[in-house]
């Protein structure tokens, strides 16, 4: 066990300087995600539970709308709208003087990219400015955007000290999702070989498991789950989840409720179509942390999952 | 992909993609093929190759790429970008390419599938709110049972502002055009490159005039 932890640390490509520069905010704006609040509401709940335990005040705003990025990348709307909506959403925390914490890789990737475009290209900036003027808002770009997982990792030691239910012996594996790590200029870990989630598992007492297709994507991000499901997405997921099942993974965590939809909801189809024995509950990393920190299991929204989660976790109650 | 013909080649193509303002210098590509090697879609569909698409783009082979299904296969996982030694932003090129294809009347069936989300969002300012009352009740019950508010609600002010953004960016007309017959090309905002400001201003003045 200790041996494995050492090994992970040795393989780690985590950028320690970046981690050290991350804030441990007392107050931060929580950017709500549509999927994380509707399909898997337990994600939203778990984020709030952990923040409370870390004395981090989360400020929400009912004025915040959908990040609009999914529809942009599905090519279903005028790209200007996504640009304007991002600037509008970010103007809300900016007017409060707060930074933003996001719990969905999708929202994170989209608002970060669109924010970057607004600031790197004067034409995009002009579009955003002009649109905001019509609705009486302004956005200057003084907002830092963080993913909650990096804020949790920043306080790894504190989380470790708060563990109420050590997850001893639980074989957990990761799915990192793509749109956090690809922000190579800010992400705390390596794109090709990330290990910070494995360190979090170790801190919770669980056993990290590496599987062959660990870095494979979920296949759902830009709507390919609707357009190319049978021919591309399902065979891809069969490869990914099949390789996880081979390693005896008991639980998988993601950092994106969108990935959860693909990895969890498609499991019956994988069993039926490919005859592979996949039965791996998929939850958000925040849900696993909140569970280990003592949040009652019925408060974590596991009933939303297609593959039952509770049978794997009830041994720790 | 269809067989290529010299007459189909056009320098306009690369220019249009570059002018979208999304992809910076595509000429940096050195065709090493790491993108194709690491691509999960290429691993399943032998016909799909990011390297080939970039090649066609640089050679200006309009027909080859624009009207093929290949550009609609990409998962947007960004593995290609993660491994690219030249830092080519392939996912963003793909985004621009797909919009460019729609603009030229190709691939609409892949986009129209998602317009229901856009219409929902116009109503609720949230994308995945389920339409079926039964499912909605289920979600409300679940959220309430774990101590959250029954639904993620956007304030009236938020919705109103969001709808106004739809209107001033011409998104509603845009949706209608997307659903129109294949022959009507979509008028895109970024036609002249970088999201056209011209149309945008026109829309806005229409709005101000109450049109």
Q: Is a pLDDT exceeding 50 seen at residue A208?
A: yes
Tell me chain A's radius of gyration from C-alpha atoms: 19
* Helices and strands counted in chain B (H then E): 13, 0
Rounded Cα gap, residues B25 and B27, in angstroms: 5
Q: What pLDDT shows up at residue B181?
A: 63
Calpha distance B190→B103 (Å, rounded)? 10
**pLDDT score, position B4:** 63
Classify strands A207-208 and A145-147 as parallel, antiparallel or unpaired: unpaired
Cα dihedral A174, A180, A182, A185 sign: negative
Distance in angstroms (rounded) separating the CA atoms of residues B204 and A131: 9
State how far residue A150 is from chain B, nearest Cα, in angstroms.
19
- Round the average pLDDT of chain A to a whole number and report it: 93
CB A112 within 8 A of CB A143: no
ipTM of the complex: 0.92
Number of compact structural domains in chain B: 2
Residues B182 and B121 occupy one common structural domain: yes
* Chain Cα centroid distance, residue B53: 17
Among candidates B21, B147, B170 on the partner chain, residue whose Cβ is nearest the Cβ of A78: B170
The confidence score (pLDDT) of residue A1 equals 55
Answer with the one of B86, B105, B124 that is the final residue of a domain.
Answer: B105
User: Which residues of chain B does A224 touch, with a Cβ-Cβ cutoff of 8 Å?
Assistant: 73-75
Question: Mind telling me how many Å the CA of B175 is from chain A's nearest CA?
Answer: 7
A37-52 pLDDT per residue, tens: 999 999 999 999 999 9
**What is the rounded distance in angstroms from the CA atom of residue A215 to the CA atom of residue A80?**
32
- Domain identity same for B73 and B137: no
User: Is there a contact between A288 and A204 (Cβ–Cβ < 8 Å)?
Assistant: yes
A213/A241 Cα distance (integer angstroms): 8
Over residues A50-65, the pLDDT tens digits come to 999 999 999 999 999 9
Whether B87 and B177 share a structural domain:
no
DSSP letter, residue B109: H
Both B72 and B146 in one domain: the answer is no
Contacts of B105 in chain A (CB under 8 A): none
Q: Which of A65, A125, A213 to mutate to test the interface with B (most CBs of B within 10 A)?
A: A65
The answer to whether residue A63 neighbours chain B at the CB level (below 8 Å) is yes
- Regarding whether B80 and B43 lie in a shared domain, the answer is yes
Q: Which of B105, B128, B153 is the last residue of a domain?
A: B105
CATH number of A157-316: 3.40.50.11810
Q: Where are the domains of chain A?
A: 15-147, 157-316
A277 close contact with B: CB closer than 8 A = no
What string of H, E and C letters represents the secondary structure of chain A? CHHHHHHHHHHCCCCHHHHHHCCCCCEEEEECCHHHHHCCHHHHHHHHHHHHHCCCEEECCCCCCCCCHHHHHCCCCCHHHHHHHHHHHHHHHHHHCCCEEECCHHHHHHHHHHHHHHHHCHHHHHHHHHHHHHCCCCCCCCCCEEEHHHHHHHCHHHHHHHCCCCCCCCEEEECCCCCCCCCCCCCCCCCCCCCHHHHHHHHCCCEECCCCCCCCCCCCCCCHHHHCHHHHHHHHHHHHHHHHHHCCCCEEEECCHHHHHHHHHCHHHHHHHHCCCCCCCEEEHHHHHHHHCCCCHHHCCHHHCCCCCHHHHHHHC
B1 in a domain, yes or no? no
Does the residue B88 lie in any domain?
Answer: yes
- Higher-pLDDT residue of B176, A281: A281
How far apart (Å, rounded) are the C-alpha atoms in residues B100 and B16? 8
CA distances for A181 relative to A48, A65, B16, angstroms: 23, 24, 29
Domain of residue B144 covers 111-208
Question: d(Cα A53, Cα A51) in Å, to the nearest integer?
Answer: 5
Of B113, B154, B197, the CB nearest to A226: B113
Q: Which residues of A touch B171 (CB under 8 A)?
A: 77-78, 80-81
Q: Percentage of chain A surpassing pLDDT 70?
A: 99
What is the model's pTM?
0.91
**Contact assignment for A70 to B81 by CB distance below 8 Å:** no
Give the number of A-B residue pairs with CB atoms closer than 8 Å: 214
For residue range A63-115, what is the model confidence (pLDDT) as tens digits?
Answer: 999 999 999 999 888 888 999 999 999 999 999 999 999 999 999 999 998 99
**Domain A15-147, what fold?**
Glutathione S-transferase Yfyf (Class Pi); Chain A, domain 2 (1.20.1050)
A66: nearest CB among B125, B169, B193: B125
- One domain for residues B142 and B196: yes
Question: What pLDDT score was predicted for residue B105?
Answer: 80
Interface test with chain B among A60, A75, A89, A309, by most B beta carbons within 10 Å? A75
User: Does B55 lie in the same domain as B93?
Assistant: yes
Q: Tell me the pLDDT of chain B (211 aa) as tens digits.
A: 556 667 767 777 777 777 777 777 788 899 999 999 999 999 998 888 999 888 888 888 767 788 888 889 999 999 999 999 999 989 988 988 888 888 888 888 888 889 889 988 999 999 888 888 999 999 999 999 999 999 988 999 999 999 999 988 888 888 888 887 654 444 433 332 233 323 333 433 333 433 3
**A residues 214-253 near B, CB within 8 Å?**
215-217, 219, 221-224, 226-228, 231-232, 235-236
pLDDT at A148 over 90: yes
Residue whose C-alpha is closest to residue A221's, from A180, A273, A253 = A180
Same domain assignment for residues B134 and B86: no
Residues B57 and B119 in one domain: no
In the DSSP assignment, the letter for residue B9 is B
Domain boundary among B62, B90, B105: B105
Does residue B95 sit in the same domain as residue B120?
Answer: no
Same domain, B153 and B199: yes
- Longest Cα–Cα distance in chain A: 60
d(CA A149, CA A13): 17
Residues B120 and B39 in one domain: no
């Amino acid at each position: 066990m200790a041996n494995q932890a050492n090994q992970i640390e040795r393989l780690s490509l985590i950028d320690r300087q970046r981690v050290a520069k991350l804030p441990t905010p007392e107050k931060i704006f929580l950017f709500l995600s549509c999927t994380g609040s509707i399909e898997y509401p337990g994600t939203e709940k778990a984020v709030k539970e952990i923040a409370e335990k870390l004395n981090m005040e989360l400020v929400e705003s009912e004025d915040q709308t959908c990040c609009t990025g999914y529809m942009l990348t599905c090519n279903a709307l005028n790209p200007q709208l996504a640009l304007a909506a991002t600037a509008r959403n970010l103007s809300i925390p900016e007017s409060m003087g707060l930074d933003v914490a996001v719990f969905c890789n999708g929202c994170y990737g989209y608002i970060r990219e669109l924010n970057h475009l607004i600031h790197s290209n004067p034409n995009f900036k002009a579009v955003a400015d002009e649109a905001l003027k019509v609705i009486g808002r302004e956005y200057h770009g003084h907002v830092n955007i963080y993913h909650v997982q990096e804020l949790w990792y920043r306080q790894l030691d504190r989380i470790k000290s708060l563990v109420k239910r050590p997850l001893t012996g639980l074989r957990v594996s990761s799915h990192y999702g793509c749109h956090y790590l690809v922000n190579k200029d800010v992400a705390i870990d390596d794109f090709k070989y990330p290990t910070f989630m494995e360190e979090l598992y170790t801190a919770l007492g669980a056993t990290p498991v590496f599987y062959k297709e660990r870095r494979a994507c979920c296949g759902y991000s830009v709507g390919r789950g609707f357009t190319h499901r049978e021919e591309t997405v399902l065979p891809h997921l069969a490869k990914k989840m099949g390789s996880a099942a081979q390693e005896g993974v008991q639980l998988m965590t993601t950092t994106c409720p969108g990935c959860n939809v693909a990895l969890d909801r498609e499991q019956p189809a994988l069993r039926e179509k490919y005859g592979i024995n996949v039965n791996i509950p998929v939850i958000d990393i925040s849900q696993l942390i909140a569970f280990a920190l003592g949040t009652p299991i019925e408060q974590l929204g596991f009933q939303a999952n297609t593959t039952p989660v509770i049978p794997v976790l009830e041994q720790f109650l | 992909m269809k067989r290529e013909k010299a007459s189909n080649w056009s320098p306009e193509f690369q220019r249009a993609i570059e002018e979208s303002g999304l992809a910076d210098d595509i000429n940096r590509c050195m065709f090493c093929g790491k993108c194709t090697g690491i691509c999960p879609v290429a691993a399943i569909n032998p016909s799909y190759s990011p390297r080939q698409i970039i090649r066609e783009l640089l050679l200006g082979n309009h027909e080859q790429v624009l009207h093929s299904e290949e550009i609609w296969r990409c998962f947007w996982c960004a593995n290609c970008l993660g491994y690219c030694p030249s830092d080519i932003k392939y996912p963003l090129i793909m985004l621009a390419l797909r919009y460019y294809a729609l603009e030229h009347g190709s691939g609409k069936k892949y986009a129209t599938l998602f317009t229901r989300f856009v219409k929902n969002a116009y109503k609720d300012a949230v994308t995945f709110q389920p339409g079926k009352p039964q499912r909605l009740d289920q979600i409300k019950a679940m959220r309430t049972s774990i101590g959250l508010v029954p639904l993620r609600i956007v304030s009236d002010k938020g919705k109103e502002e969001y709808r106004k953004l739809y209107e001033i960016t011409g998104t509603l007309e845009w949706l209608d055009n997307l659903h129109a017959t294949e022959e009507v090309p979509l008028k895109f905002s970024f036609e002249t490159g970088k999201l056209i400001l011209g149309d945008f201003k026109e829309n806005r003045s229409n709005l101000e005039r109450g049109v």
